[in-house]
Structure 1
Amino acid sequence: MKWLYAVAGFALFIKMLVLPNPIADWEELAVVETIVSESGVSNTVSGIIFRNRLYDTIFEVVVFTIAILGGRFLLANEQPTTTVDQFTDHPSVVLARLGATIAALVSIELAIRGHLSPGGGFAAGVAGGTAIGLIAITSKSQWMEVVYQRWKAATVEKVSVLIFIALAVVTLVGWELPQGELGTLVSGGFIPFLNILVALKVALGSWAVILLFIRYRGLL
């Protein structure tokens, strides 16, 4: 089979050298302009995710929620780990918390301005989850649990999902907020709110998963 893989790789290499790359014509660019005008946001990716294919995005959020519930269900009957090793040397702690601060600021920026520039709710949630993960490797798991409970993160996560679904259904029905002026912070109707809700959901869901795996598997 190795010779077959070698022939396939060589054919792919020849294809990249010989066949030209497709060049966007004016009709394809007109599609982008149509998406911008219909969604009211300059980031066409956000326009597609939260308007043109909003039905798919609803189920992506639901699938993420089910995955978290599934993780809790699968680990519910296991015994929590007794020891959790974490970073204790001062340089590692400082670098991790500096990185967490930067990731948190990036998360806020992507959530608020994701409809204007590259970014959006999912990217913002990943950045927020990264910040929480960096804090988790330098802090006691008991303290992380206390903060999670104090801020009622689980409740906020569930409420954000419900509000997202409600706004998405309203949008699919055909009722939308005024688009506003293209390129401004308050533009795009419901899209900025959907971005923020998705960012909350992904970040807080990541926090729940991190705590869950630290509790039952230790620091991964």
Structure 2
Amino acid sequence: MAWIKVLSLILISLLFFLFLFQRGDYDVDFKNLGAVNNFVTEIYLRNRLYDTIFEVLVFSLAALGIFLFNYSIEKKEIILHESHIRMFLKFLSYFVILTSFYLAYFGHKTPGGGFSAGVAGGTGLLLYSLSTTINEFEYMFNRFKVKIIEKWILIVIYLISIVALFGSSYIAILNILIYLKVMFGTWIILYSFVKHRGII
């Protein structure tokens, strides 16, 4: 029966390429279908909002799992001694975090929105963690109450999503909240790895 599987794969591949190179003549003006100019944002923050909610939840569970897993590991402290590299990384981290906020603020006009901006913000936090000591990084983590704020942002995202079901549009606010949620979740993961495994 192996030939049936091979034939099925060949037929599926042929169908895929037929649909891939088929020209479509659409009479629909896609610009008028959504409340925002960006059709990608219209899909993932309005038409497929439930997917976005579950993706945020999965990311929260991943951050919590990593934090709990590393909690049982003995703490390590490894410091980057090259001062000029640390200075450059700190400057670069500020620039990346500022750029990530710009991406989140204008996320309804560009593809990706809050998720890509949150990943960029997490990258900025990674650069900052490489440029500082664990004591300073831990002080900032505790000072900003990152774990508590991250949970509250998740609750607010759910509440706004429920309100959005009744026809209201909060796309710009959802983008910024998803940005903060992903960035703070990344901060929890980084803090856990830096504290229990040394420098990344």
Settle same-fold status: TM greater than 0.5.
yes
- Given the superposition, is the C-alpha separation of residues 19 and 133 from structure 1 closer, same or farther in structure 2, using an over 3 Å criterion? same
2:89 to 73, 96, 99: 96
The answer for the alignment partner of 1:40 in structure 2 is: 35
1:197 aligns with 2:173: no
Q: Comparing 143-152 with 18-27, which one deviates more in the overlay?
A: 18-27
Q: Count matched residues.
A: 186
Give the 4+ runs in structure 1 shifted more than 3 A.
Answer: 18-21, 36-39
Q: Is the 8 A contact 2:43 2:49 kept in 1?
A: yes
Deviations 1:73-128 (A, max 9, x none): 222222112x3132x32332233123212211211111111101344100110111
1:25 aligns with 2:24: yes
The answer for the alignment partner of 1:175 in structure 2 is: 167
Q: Using the TM superposition, give the Cα deviation of residue 21 of structure 1 relative to its aligned residue in structure 2, in angstroms.
A: 5.9
One-letter amino acid of the counterpart of residue 199, structure 2 = L
- Given the superposition, is the C-alpha separation of residues 24 and 130 from structure 1 closer, same or farther in structure 2, using an over 3 Å criterion? farther
- Given the superposition, is the C-alpha separation of residues 25 and 19 from structure 1 closer, same or farther in structure 2, using an over 3 Å criterion? closer
Deviations 1:133-190 (A, max 9, x none): 1010010111111111112222221111100011112223x231xxxxxxxxxxxx21
Q: Is the 8 A contact 2:67 2:188 kept in 1?
A: no
Query: What is the TM-score of this pair, normalised by structure 2?
Result: 0.84
1:215 aligns with 2:192: no
- Distance in 1 (alpha carbons) for counterparts of 2:147 and 2:164: 26
Q: Is the 8 A contact 1:126 1:203 kept in 2?
A: yes
**What root-mean-square deviation, in Å, do the aligned CA atoms of Structure 1 and Structure 2 show?**
2.3
Query: What is the TM-score of this pair, normalised by structure 1?
Result: 0.77
- Given the superposition, is the C-alpha separation of residues 24 and 104 from structure 1 closer, same or farther in structure 2, using an over 3 Å criterion? farther
The answer for the alignment partner of 1:183 in structure 2 is: none
One-letter amino acid of the counterpart of residue 52, structure 1 = N
One-letter amino acid of the counterpart of residue 208, structure 1 = I
1:60 aligns with 2:55: yes
User: 1:137-152, aligned counterparts within 5 Å?
Assistant: 137-152=130-145
The answer for the alignment partner of 2:66 in structure 1 is: 71
Percent of paired sites with the same residue: 32
Gaps of 5+ in 2: 1-13
- Distance in 1 (alpha carbons) for counterparts of 2:110 and 2:116: 12
Q: Is the 8 A contact 1:125 1:199 kept in 2?
A: yes
- Given the superposition, is the C-alpha separation of residues 60 and 20 from structure 1 closer, same or farther in structure 2, using an over 3 Å criterion? closer
- Distance in 1 (alpha carbons) for counterparts of 2:23 and 2:158: 35
2:79 to 85, 107, 117: 85
The answer for the alignment partner of 1:113 in structure 2 is: 106
- Given the superposition, is the C-alpha separation of residues 98 and 26 from structure 1 closer, same or farther in structure 2, using an over 3 Å criterion? farther
- Distance in 2 (alpha carbons) for counterparts of 1:148 and 1:67: 18
